[in-house]
Homo-oligomer: A and B are copies of this chain.
């Protein structure tokens, strides 16, 4: 059954299911039960079945889920049955690593536009992609119809860049800068800050270093 409002937390788990299924697909697995997928991911099988039930009935009693088919469905649901062009703002060490990152391939994403505000970088090329002047964000993003951007600039520049991106029509931002961004409600933001992730673990470490 679709049409109900799907909780955000359910959506946030689907990419993990998809990732595990694609891994199993590469292993040659054709059918998988919720139980097995759940064990692999460290969640409960009921949760997987419930999550999927928001979108339809994809399984078969007695056997489980066709791996190929469920992958296609999940890609469709998550709208990664296409390739999204992305803009990357900030070509420092991290930005460069992201441009070289192989992991976007076949996952629905492609970095297609690079921006930086450093005159010494503007005009240079990385992987055949020219680094553009950040002042051209408002011109080039709409021109390319880009909806997703990655922010990899220093923290003090991040909010300004986000404002520019939103004005230019960006609807989703992956933010590597260690600040919480203020954006309009229609814009989604996901945060990646290694320090935050590390600080979420040290609380649980018993001894003293």
Residues of A within 8 A of B (CB): 11-12, 14-16, 18-20, 23, 40-42, 77-80, 82-86, 93-94, 96-98, 100-101, 103-104, 107-109, 145, 147-148, 150, 155, 171-172, 174, 178-180, 182, 188, 190, 192-209
Contacts and interface: CB of A to CB of B under 8 A. Distances in A.
21 contacts: A16-B180, A19-B195, A19-B196, A20-B180, A42-B182, A84-B198, A85-B209, A93-B96, A96-B97, A103-B178, A104-B194, A104-B195, A108-B195, A147-B209, A148-B205, A150-B194, A171-B206, A172-B198, A174-B197, A190-B197, A190-B200
B196 A15 contact: yes
Contacts of A83: 209
Number of copies: 2
Contacts of A104: 194-195
B198 A174 contact: yes
A86 to B, nearest CB: 8
Contact of A202 (B41, B78, B98, B194): B78
B198 A109 contact: yes
Given A19-B179, A180-B20, A171 B98 contact: no
B19 A178 contact: yes
Nearest to A42: B180
B202 A84 contact: yes
A98 B194 contact: yes
B190 A192 contact: no
Contact of A203 (B19, B78, B180, B203): B78
B16 A196 contact: yes
A196 B195 CA distance: 19
Given A84-B198, A107-B199, A148-B198, 15 more contacts: A11-B203, A15-B200, A18-B199, A19-B178, A19-B193, A79-B205, A83-B209, A85-B209, A86-B198, A94-B101, A108-B195, A147-B209, A148-B205, A192-B194, A192-B197
